[in-house]
Structure 1
Amino acid sequence: MALELRQQLKLTQKLVMTPQLRQAIKLLQLNRLDLSTALQAEIEQNPALEIDLDGPPDTLPDDQPFGLTATAEPDQVPVPEPDVTPPISTADAMPEVNWEEYANTYETSFSFSREAPPEDAPSQFDFISEKPGLSAYLQWQLAHSELDEREWEIALFIVGNLNRYGFLETTLEEIMAQTECTFDEADYLLEVVQDLDPPGIAARNVSESLKLQLERLNMGDSLAAEIVTRHLGLLETKNYKMLARLTGRKKQEILDAINFITANLTPFPGLPYAEEATNYIVPDVYVEKIDGEYVIRLNDDDLPQLRISSYYQELLKATTPASKESRSYIADKVKSAEWFIRSIHQRQRTIYRVMESILRFQRDFFDNGPTQLKPLILRDVAEDIGMHESTISRVTSNKYAHTPQGIYELKYFFSTAIPREGGDALAAESIKTRIRQMIQEEDKAKPLSDSAIADRLSEKNIQLARRTVAKYREQMKIPPVKHRRHTS
């Protein structure tokens, strides 16, 4: 068979992801905080998009775009009002600068006791770019220790092998091999690091960490030290009767020692210094009950009101001849601004419709709480509002709703069905809530086993296997029965 090159016409249909469509999809899956950042970034990049400082109030009718100044329909591009603001000259907007105010002068008679800063003045701690972590804190303390260069390198190696909990993840043999030091040097410098703050740092395990903290309090020979050193397993299982038998102490003495341990010691001394950023949750939508009816309100409180720059629109209408490149640039920016405003509008309306559908399906949840959560899948909501499942998935990802029952992620309302004899199916999250309530109300001296929980659920026509109960309990991070038992 001969190989040859030929030209051929072929008619096909395929879906092409345009840049505008990609932008709309990206905005749809952003949460509340990320959306605010995206708005600011787009305003900075597109000169045809600007903030309307004279826009309408935050509360807009349901048929108006959220966060926009237009009153057009959802599928129409809003027509901006003409800008009648008089131009401001650069000379008027830039006052004369008094450079003497910026002089780096120092007055010997100045005193903070007489010149108190205003209450709303920023603190110097507001300008710290990064929170010091555990390693930086320990190195700062070592810098004030009398260590030579050789000892400093070994101490830094020890500090570098501490995990986020403050435990040492290496052995003395590895320290000797990596730093080429003797056993006495490694042991001595490990003690130097363990003498630093916070107490209990550089321990090999929880027992040693608690023992180091007690030694710092001059309680190395106390009953508490004996418990954390020899009987930590009994302390975890709360087997106080066995502790009293092995230590030869009275029950009240055991309880006093355990109360001191739990109140004054920490099993993970390095955790408060962990370099982890706090993730704040800002609800994307509010569901409030007013006069017996639920009202849905989107959270657009601090979103800027957007509009298309009238200056750029006038440039397109101007009769003054301009270069082809300039007109093409202006037209592209104006079109991009129009599409961005439309995408924001569509995103807000989609979130509103999805939350409205969830409210219809999960009305019992909003009335009575998580125990009344019903089985729901993405297809149910998609068919209800006439959208694709992928759109519902993007809308419900990383977005939260503030409800009368608390703040929940939109994904929380979707759960698999657990069949029940003689009744409607229940959602898996509803079963987890029931299990959590059973464990909270159990007798601490005789906690419920997974089999006992399964039996109690079966009495309510909820058939679950023991391993399923164990799986749900582990997902809720609830310890097993031996760690929940409180032995008297």
Structure 2
Amino acid sequence: MSVLSSVHMDKESLEESLKLLGYDNEDLFAYLQQKALGNPLIEVKVNKEFDERAVKEKTVVYKPDKDDPSDTVSAMEQVFEEVPALDTFLLEQIHANMRDTPLRELVLFLVAFINPEGYVTIDLDDAAEQKGVEPIMMLDALTLLHQLDPPGVGARNLQECLMLQTERDGYAPEIAYYILENFFQAFSDRNWQMIADEMDVELADVKAVFEYAQSLDPTPGSAFGDDSLSLPRPDLYLQTVDGHLTVKYNEWSSPVVVFQKDYYEEMMQYEDEDVQQFLAANKTEYEQLRSAVAFRKELLLGAGELITTLQKGFFLESRELKPLDVSRLADDLGISISDMREGVLNKMIETERGTFLMHQLCGE
């Protein structure tokens, strides 16, 4: 029985499920987060422990040596460091530390306008107009964003970036913040004597602040990963126990859709018909999304079990990979060949012999 024939869902839910299948974990998180922004009954969570582990550990990617036909495993030396993307890092902090409020929604909105260097690129008045809120509320959201790591993230310009870092540094020179706030142009032009005279401090003190400023990071976002370059985290991993292969879903890497039960029960107390319809529609969307995420997991597990079983000789007896018929695999799973290639075979599976793209295990 195929995976598709073992589940029951309407056409719309099935289309949503197959759409999610094509996403890697970072794209899936971003998609679910967009859904959550428009649905107060949905919260998206990720496991922070995996993210901390991913930064420290190396992922070994299997890549056969084309110049040596007999080499099927030795070229596992192409190693990448997994570095989380800046927006992912910020979103995880927001969901872990901020309550679900309208203000948090504005913080999430601002994250979408942070460039790779860590600066907010949208004017706050324009942002307030887009979200239909008062400018002061958007400023409050920016203030919350400024409290996140890395220090300086969310700044609107270099001056603000350096001020934010100085404000959070307990070892900063006592007059550093004041100079950056009130004499930034003169400070940048190295007009130190004028600043010393205006503040009635020693010239050496101003120079010390300049030396301190050189230690600050003008681009706090640059230390983070680029989504276009970083490897997706494996969706599956393969264990060998007593000569038996077991495929498991990598729960660490997958975002989880959580139902906001307290909010739902609180709003259910209102007898207003519009409120009830609003809750019903959003609960239906949550249930469809949860089913789609669960189906994605089930389908990837089914594909992993099918492919690794067919390649049992490779994993247990060090034989060469056998060429597999991808069309037959798609039929066995009950999905189209395009969904197989675009949604399944571009996923990764971590094994004791390295981390593989699924299409590699098909002999492609």
Interval containing the TM-score (normalised by the shorter chain): 0.3 to 0.5
TM-score, normalised with respect to structure 2: 0.47
Larger radius of gyration: 1
TM-score, normalised with respect to structure 1: 0.36
